């Protein structure tokens, strides 16, 4: 692990985790992971919102994309040209949904090392802690006696060891998250292999999440689970906002369409 990654990502996250761990009542390590996850997710809210908006727009375009592919008749060059024209017309970048996700990868890598170090090498974390964090009374006691460090969630789940329960929860919440953004089944045609592949990934990705989380320290699937729950809430709020905006647009269009009719009726009455 490079020094740059440690300095920019790992060390700040490790200090944030132990700051929370040192000040919350009960000093529960699992609860500290949950609180830190919530702080990170809300700090990344603008990126997540942008990503969700882009994903939703791309999903809404799937029926039009399917029609364009039919028009292209298998001509990949023509298909690419038509797609670019559609994206330009709708003012959508096909890569805008991926960029915020890529920016979050350093956090995921750093968190892996944070959880690995904090749950397996409590005696060595003092080297990475900032002085104000080291001086917290409870953190001082942990550094002086590493055996007193208990990396558990409510005293029930050891964050340093794999947890089947949290691995499954991570997969379930991942499935709910992707299902919310998935196109409706009526929008997926038999002739659209890309849409079918996307639908298949909606099931494979959560299963892959469970497979990966199965053997990882429980702190990571706990992070994934909390992240998914917060993202589901964000998706609900964003999609509800889009529905309300669409309803407002419909009302405005209806009022605009009714105005000429009202004016015409008034002019007829005036002539009479």
| Cα–Cα separations (whole angstroms), residue 29 to 19, 26, 58, 101 | 11, 9, 39, 27
- Count CB atoms within 10 A of the CB of residue 33: 27
Residue 272 is predicted with a pLDDT of 53
Please give the helix or strand (H or E) that residue 207 lies within, else none. helix 193-213
Residue of 189, 191, 193 whose CA lies nearest to 201: 193
Q: How far apart are CA 224 and CA 175, in angstroms?
A: 12
Mean pLDDT of successive 10-residue stretches along the chain, which has 272 residues: 72 90 91 91 79 71 75 75 76 62 68 76 79 91 85 87 90 85 54 59 80 86 89 80 49 54 57 54
How far apart CA 39 and CA 111 sit, in angstroms, is 13
Where b means 16+ CB within 10 Å and e means fewer, 213-239 reads bbebbbbbbbbbbbbbbbbbebbeebe
pLDDT of residue 208: 85
Read off the DSSP letter of residue 133: H
Q: Computed over its alpha carbons, how large is the radius of gyration of the chain?
A: 25
Q: How many residues does the chain have?
A: 272
Rounded to whole angstroms, the Cα distance separating 172 from 129 reads 35
pLDDT at site 88: 75
pLDDT at 124: 74
The rounded distance, in Å, linking the Cα atoms of 41 and 28 is: 20
Residue 24's Cβ-side half-sphere holds a number of Cα atoms within 13 Å equal to 18
Q: Can you give the pLDDT at residue 249?
A: 46
- Residue 173 neighbours by CB under 8 Å, 6+ apart: 224, 225, 228, 229, 232
DSSP secondary structure string, 84-132? HHHHHHHT--TTTTTHHHHHHHHHHHHHHHHHHHHHH-GGGGGGTS-HH
pLDDT of amino acid 79: 75
Looking at residue 81, its pLDDT comes to 80
């Amino acid at each position: 692990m490079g020094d740059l990654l440690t300095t920019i990502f790992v060390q700040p996250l490790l200090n944030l985790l132990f700051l929370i761990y040192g000040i919350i009542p009960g000093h529960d390590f699992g609860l500290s992971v949950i609180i830190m996850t919530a702080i990170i997710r809300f700090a990344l809210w603008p990126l997540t919102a942008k990503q969700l908006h882009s994903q939703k727009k791309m999903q809404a375009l799937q029926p039009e994309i399917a029609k364009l592919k039919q028009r292209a008749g298998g001509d990949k060059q023509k298909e690419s040209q038509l797609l670019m024209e559609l994206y330009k017309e709708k003012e959508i970048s096909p890569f805008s949904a991926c960029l915020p996700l890529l920016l979050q990868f350093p956090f995921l890598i750093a968190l892996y090392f944070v959880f690995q170090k904090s749950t397996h090498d409590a005696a060595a974390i003092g080297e990475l802690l900032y002085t104000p964090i080291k001086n917290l009374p409870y953190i001082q006691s942990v550094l002086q006696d590493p055996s007193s460090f208990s990396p558990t969630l409510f005293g029930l789940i050891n964050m340093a060891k794999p947890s089947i329960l949290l691995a499954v929860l991570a997969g379930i919440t991942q499935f709910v998250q992707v299902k919310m953004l998935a196109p409706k089944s009526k929008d997926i045609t038999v002739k659209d292999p890309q849409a079918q592949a996307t639908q298949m990934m909606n099931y494979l990705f959560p299963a892959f999440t469970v497979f990966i989380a199965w053997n990882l320290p429980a702190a990571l699937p706990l992070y994934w689970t909390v992240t998914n729950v917060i993202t589901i809430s964000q998706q609900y709020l964003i999609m509800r906002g889009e529905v309300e905006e669409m309803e407002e647009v419909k009302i405005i269009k209806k009022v605009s369409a009714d105005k000429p009719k009202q004016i015409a009726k008034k002019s007829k009455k005036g002539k009479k």
